[in-house]
Amino acid sequence: MSLLDVREVVVSFGALRAVDHVSLELEAAQIIGVIGPNGAGKSSLFNAISGATRIASGEIFCSGTRIDRLRIDEIARSGIARTFQNIRLFGHMSVQANILVGEHATLHSGVLADMLHTKAMQSEERVATNRAIELLEFVGIPSSHAGRDARELAYGEQRRLEIARALAASPKCLLLDEPAAGLNATEKRDLAKLVRRIAEMKIAILLVEHDMSFVMPLCERLIVLDYGKKIADAIPSVVRADPVVLAAYLGVAP
Amino acid sequence: MHEFGAQLANGLALGAIYALIALGYTMVYGIVELINFAHGDVYTFGSFITLVILTALGITGEAHGVLLVVAVVVALLGSALACGVLAILIERVAYRPLRNAPRLAPLITAIGVSFILENALQLWKGPAPITVPALIPNPRFLGGTFSLAQVSVIVLAVVTMFALQFLVHRTRLGMQMRAVAQDRDAAALVGIDANRTIALTFLIAGALAGIAGMASGVYYQSTWFLNGFGAGLKSFTAAVLGGIGNIAGAMLGGFCIGLLEAFTSATIGGQWANVAVFTVLIAVLVIRPNGLLGTNLPDKL
Amino acid sequence: MIYAYAALAIVAAVLIDRFPSPRLRRIVIVALAIPLLLVPLIDPSEATRNLLADASIYVALALGLNIVVGFAGLLDLGYAAFFAIGAYAYGMLASPQFGLHIPFWVILLLAGPLAALFGMILGAPTLRLRGDYLAIVTLGFGEIVPQIFQNLTAYTGGPNGIPGLDVPSFFGKSFGASALPFYYLALALVALAIFIAGNLRASRLGRAWLAIRDDELAAKHAGIDTTRAKLAAFAIGASFSGCAGVLFAAKLGLVSPDLFGFQVSVLIVSMLVLGGMGNLSGVVIGSLVLTMLNSAILPQANMLAATLLHVHVDLSQYHFAIYGVILVAMMLWRPSGLIARRAR
């Protein structure tokens, strides 16, 4: 069984099927892109996998465990981390604290230890803080920014901080929701490098993206959604030439 | 059986007043998702204004014929207008600047406004209960179970509810209100002035509180500065019980809470009425937060 | 003297947040705590001691509520209910009411867990509600609790409450009629609250609260069990209120249901709003300012108005309006409190 295994998932809003019997498989270290016109169901698929939306039918497994009935936080702890299309950092917390929140599930201190700052708690915090700084540098944010409020960061840095926060949970699978949105060409190039380095850490990556020039060279496979249905699932060069896909994007019948 | 009838009448009349207040909560919550905590005090203000108007008309007790009609109409309109204006003022000063602030910010200012109003009302008429003239004569109906005042209050509430239903579902303003409630930005795109629509909603909600204040003042022949605190909370419970944002629900909820209070008072004792109502509030929110008739609101996080 | 104390405490609170080094901060805190301990000895009037004791109890309450409202972002409008539970625990267990005379210290220790338990009983079913509904549910709870104490006349003395509570003693030495021991106890509770709240803020749980307050959905996606984290906030906050309730009841020598109404809950919320929700030193300042305003400044202002302007007003009539103005004005113009919050 694959690391992430999505089987025949359906997401409905009333009469509308936002995701219509979509299946996909994702292995560790793989980068797969989900593309499609606006309203094709890409975000709904992400919300379904990460638990933000309940699925109407189908099954989702993460490394063999069924996760589609779990709460959001349980899904997160089972190894799925995500970023958001419209950045959702903890704006009033420091950059470092944002990453430490990401580490939440990997830490073990209890209420009493937190109240009293026991020796064990303090040493765990030290390790966690060091790791936060490492992650910060890994995504390319200077560690001198660690103490600033997250909302004060530049837009591109906020996007990368969100990725660092997601990585802090030591996920098996990372969902990136339009990570390149609003970035300039240089930033996009850096982001692509970062995504590849994350994949090298044996993390499976699923990303939703509009920008074809970003997705094509980065992803080893592309899944195309249209009106909630999967209309293509192949390597980028094949998808690019697929008449059905072209029709969906251009709005003409194949 | 006679006792049952009497409590039924009490409960329905009380429920009618709660329903009138609840309509205002539901309208405001429906459009700006704010628990307008000061709404109960606007209702108290209405009962005070009613007293002022009746005094100005020289009424000290039961009125008959033309004088009765004039007194009722003037007190109702005067109280509704005064409360509507007060509600608009409150919205303008305390809520509008915080429309894009975190959700709890306007709730906190609403509590602040409530305290300011209560203090102002206390300074105006003192801390003790105040007598309102017994305006309505007292023939009885249905085998003597219902008094004229009770029937009037109930009819007033039901008629008001239907008028409101008509306003919200059949008029241009109602259409605008529903549009703003659903999506303020989209409504603005099609040329609806959201600020004006919200202000008008507050005007209507305030007017409803004014009508409720007039009705309760005349029916109970008494009011005091803290009247609106308990009544407001219970009416909010009624709105939630019926399904917040739902006009018929607010009415249904109001009657349920009124009956619950009347029968609790009659059976277990008046001191348990509040406990019963607030227990219902907690239970409804926990078990069925959408209320009996469901809500028209999307459950945004 | 009272003003000197208030000024000192305010300066202390402001300074503490400005010191970057934790060690230096600790030294400053200790240096400033010593005069706090000495003030009532320098000014031995019972009125001062009484005022200081009350002020400290309110500071402890505000610090407890700050964990719920300031840290976790849950607007609890029924916080006084836990205060009532602590106070009535003492009232029923250490008075002639049932002839039980359980030692003060035992009840003081048990009040925290007891109030925390009630906090969890209230919180468990309700914490999934959205913020404004939760506020109203807690308000309902806050109305029910004193009403129940009032109604269960056989156990609680009804509307009149329970008078003649035991006077605590310390190793056989009775507290007597002095408020001084209560002042020191309340001060210890404040110190404990600051210690615990400060520690929590820089911990896994504290970060989880702040994250929930900023963006609950994102917090869930970060793997935080938000219901559990909120429950912890409720329980810890309630336990401070419970302990403060025991001190309050023992100091007053009686409990009655009218001492724990909605006004008390809103007073404490006003303290937080004035000082800045989530800001420890701000909360201390906010609660001191409001207590001083109520018990010292307004009465003095009355006298001032009478002597200077020859107007006889009772400014204490305006309490509610003052809380109301604070809530409105602060939210409109200074939503993060009198002292701006630092980054965390």
The secondary structure of B214-275, three-state, reads: HHHHHHHCEECCCHHHHHHHHHHHHHHHHCCCCHHHHHHHHHHHHHHHHHHHHHCCHHHHHH
Look up residue A72 and give its two tokens. Answer: 């959001």
CA-based R_g, chain C, Å: 20
At A253, the pLDDT band (50, 70, 90 cuts) reads: low
> Which residue of chain B comes nearest to C336, CA vs CA?
B105
Give dist(CA C20, CA C342) in Å, integer: 11
Residue B301: predicted pLDDT? 30
Give dist(CA C39, CA B148) in Å, integer: 67
Instruction: Report how far apart, in Å, the C-alpha atoms of C119 and of each of A79, A112, C67, C135 are.
Output: 32, 17, 13, 14
Average pLDDT over residues A192-207: 95
User: Considering only CA atoms, which of B197, B177, B289 is closest in space to residue B237?
Assistant: B289
* Contact: B103, C148; criterion CB under 8 Å: no
Q: What are the chain A neighbours of C211 within 8 Å (beta carbons)?
A: 90, 93, 101, 104
Neighbours of A, requiring at least 3 CB pairs below 8 Å, are: C
Q: Are C280 and C341 a contacting pair, CB within 8 Å? A: no
Q: Are B141 and B69 a contacting pair, CB within 8 Å? A: no
Look up residue A193 and give its two tokens. Answer: 């490098």
Indicate which of C204, C226, C239 best probes the interface with A, i.e. most A CBs within 10 Å of its own CB: C204
Question: pLDDT at residue C186 above 90?
Answer: yes
Residue C303: predicted pLDDT? 77
Q: Does C47 touch chain B (CB under 8 A)?
A: no
Q: What single-letter DSSP state applies at residue A155?
A: H
Average pLDDT over residues C21-28: 72
Of B113-127, B130-144, B222-236, C212-226, the one with minimum mean pLDDT is B130-144
CATH of A1-79+171-254, one of 1.10.10.1100, 1.10.3720.10, 3.40.50.720, 3.40.50.300: 3.40.50.300
Q: Does A81 touch chain C (CB under 8 A)?
A: yes
Partners of residue A204 on adjacent β-strands: A173
* Contact: A117, C199; criterion CB under 8 Å: yes
Q: Does C224 touch chain A (CB under 8 A)?
A: yes
Question: pLDDT at residue C340 above 70?
Answer: no
User: For chains B and C, what is the number of CB pairs under 8 angstroms?
Assistant: 126
Residue B295: predicted pLDDT? 65
Average pLDDT over residues A49-56: 94
Question: pLDDT at residue B296 above 60?
Answer: no
Neighbours of B, requiring at least 3 CB pairs below 8 Å, are: C
Restricting to B residues 97-136, those with a Cβ less than 8 Å away from any Cβ of C are 97-98, 101, 103-109, 111-120, 122-123
B73-107 pLDDT tens trace? 999 999 999 999 999 999 999 999 999 888 889 99
Q: What are the chain C neighbours of A52 within 8 Å (beta carbons)?
A: 217, 221
What is the distance of C-alpha C303 from the center of its chain? Answer: 29
- Phi–psi pair at B232, nearest 5 degrees: -65, -45
Q: What single-letter DSSP state applies at residue C253?
A: T
Q: What are the chain C neighbours of B119 within 8 Å (beta carbons)?
A: 317-321, 324
Residue C19: predicted pLDDT? 64
Arithmetic mean of pLDDT over chain C: 87
* Contact: B111, C327; criterion CB under 8 Å: yes
At C307, the pLDDT band (50, 70, 90 cuts) reads: confident
Look up residue B57 and give its two tokens. Answer: 């008309």
At C18, the pLDDT band (50, 70, 90 cuts) reads: low
* Contact: C221, A111; criterion CB under 8 Å: no
Helix ranges, C294-338 (H): 298-304, 319-333
- Other residues' Cβ atoms within 10 Å of the Cβ of residue B225: 25
CB-nearest to C222 from A52, A92, A102 is A102
Residues in CB range of C203: below 8 A, 6 or more apart: A109, A113, A114, A115, A117, A121, A125
Residue A246: predicted pLDDT? 84
Secondary structure (3-state) at A68:
coil
Nearest-CA distance B113 → chain C (Å): 6
Give dist(CA A79, CA A45) in Å, integer: 17
Give dist(CA A151, CA A169) in Å, integer: 21
Residue C6: predicted pLDDT? 63
Give dist(CA C96, CA C112) in Å, integer: 23
CA-based R_g, chain B, Å: 19
Q: What are the chain A neighbours of C236 within 8 Å (beta carbons)?
A: 111, 115
Question: pLDDT at residue B55 above 70?
Answer: yes
Q: Is residue C56 part of a domain?
A: yes
Q: Is residue C343 part of a domain?
A: no
Task: Express as a percent the part of chain C with pLDDT over 70.
Answer: 91
At A2, the pLDDT band (50, 70, 90 cuts) reads: confident
Domain architecture of chain B: domains with CATH:
2-287 (1.10.3470)
* Contact: B105, C216; criterion CB under 8 Å: no
Average pLDDT over residues C38-65: 87
Average pLDDT over residues C11-35: 69
Q: What single-letter DSSP state applies at residue C342?
A: P
Question: pLDDT at residue C344 above 60?
Answer: no
Partners of residue A149 on adjacent β-strands: A94
C53-88 pLDDT tens trace? 999 999 999 999 999 999 999 999 999 999 999 999
Q: Are B29 and B170 a contacting pair, CB within 8 Å? A: no
Arithmetic mean of pLDDT over chain A: 92
Residue type (1 letter), C15 = L
Q: Are A21 and A10 a contacting pair, CB within 8 Å? A: yes
Q: Are B114 and B108 a contacting pair, CB within 8 Å? A: no
Per DSSP, which regions of A50-93 are E strands? 57-62, 65-66, 80-82
Q: Does A82 touch chain C (CB under 8 A)?
A: yes
Restricting to B residues 202-241, those with a Cβ less than 8 Å away from any Cβ of C are 229, 233, 236-237, 240
Give dist(CA A127, CA A165) in Å, integer: 16
Question: pLDDT at residue C4 above 80?
Answer: no
Task: Express as a percent the part of chain B with pLDDT over 90.
Answer: 70
Buried b (16+ CB within 10 A) or exposed e, A118-128: eeebeebbeeb
Residues in CB range of B128: below 8 A, 6 or more apart: B224
Secondary structure (3-state) at B283:
helix
Give dist(CA C43, CA B184) in Å, integer: 60
What stretch of H or E contains A230?
strand A229-234
Domain that holds residue C139: 2-333
* Contact: C210, A92; criterion CB under 8 Å: yes
- Phi–psi pair at A170, nearest 5 degrees: 50, 60
Question: pLDDT at residue A107 above 90?
Answer: yes
Question: pLDDT at residue C141 above 90?
Answer: yes
Of A94-98, A123-127, B70-74, B285-289, the one with minimum mean pLDDT is B285-289
Q: What are the chain A neighbours of C222 within 8 Å (beta carbons)?
A: 73, 76, 81, 101-102, 104-105, 165, 169
Restricting to C residues 325-344, those with a Cβ less than 8 Å away from any Cβ of A are 341, 343-344
User: Considering only CA atoms, which of B121, B149, B150, B133 is closest in space to residue B229?
Assistant: B121
* Contact: B119, C139; criterion CB under 8 Å: no
Give dist(CA C227, CA C241) in Å, integer: 21
- Other residues' Cβ atoms within 10 Å of the Cβ of residue B185: 8
Secondary structure (3-state) at C132:
helix
Give dist(CA A235, CA A245) in Å, integer: 13
Q: What are the chain C neighbours of B286 within 8 Å (beta carbons)?
A: 125-126, 129, 137
Cα dihedral: C12, C13, C14, C20 (round 10): 90
Beta pairing class for A57-62 and A65-66: antiparallel
How many domains is chain C built from? 1
User: Considering only CA atoms, which of A23, A14, A91, A78 is closest in space to residue A51?
Assistant: A78
Question: pLDDT at residue C12 above 70?
Answer: no
Residue C294: predicted pLDDT? 82
Residues in CB range of B192: below 8 A, 6 or more apart: B176, B179, B180
Q: Does A188 touch chain C (CB under 8 A)?
A: no
* Contact: A72, C200; criterion CB under 8 Å: no
CB-nearest to A72 from C204, C220, C344 is C220
Residue B298: predicted pLDDT? 41
Burial class (CB in 10 A: 0-12, 13-18, 19+), A21: middle
Residue type (1 letter), C44 = P
Q: Are B28 and B39 a contacting pair, CB within 8 Å? A: yes
Instruction: Report how far apart, in Å, the C-alpha atoms of C108 and of each of A9, C176, C243 are.
Output: 56, 18, 6
At C47, the pLDDT band (50, 70, 90 cuts) reads: confident
> Which residue of chain C comes nearest to B115, CA vs CA?
C324
What stretch of H or E contains A108?
none
* Contact: C207, A100; criterion CB under 8 Å: yes
* Contact: B109, C262; criterion CB under 8 Å: no
Question: pLDDT at residue A91 above 80?
Answer: yes
Instruction: CATH number of the domain at C150, please.
Output: 1.10.3470
Average pLDDT over residues C130-153: 92
Question: pLDDT at residue C17 above 80?
Answer: no
Restricting to B residues 73-92, those with a Cβ less than 8 Å away from any Cβ of C are none
Secondary structure (3-state) at A119:
helix
At C23, the pLDDT band (50, 70, 90 cuts) reads: confident
Average pLDDT over residues A69-93: 95
Arithmetic mean of pLDDT over chain B: 91
Q: What are the chain A neighbours of C207 within 8 Å (beta carbons)?
A: 93, 97, 100-101, 104
> Which residue of chain A comes nearest to C204, CA vs CA?
A104
User: For chains A and C, what is the number of CB pairs under 8 angstroms?
Assistant: 106
Q: Does A10 touch chain C (CB under 8 A)?
A: no
CATH of A89-170, one of 3.40.50.300, 2.40.50.140, 3.40.30.10, 3.10.290.10: 3.40.50.300
Q: Is residue C338 part of a domain?
A: no
Reported ipTM exceeds the 0.90 cut: yes
Question: pLDDT at residue A171 above 90?
Answer: yes
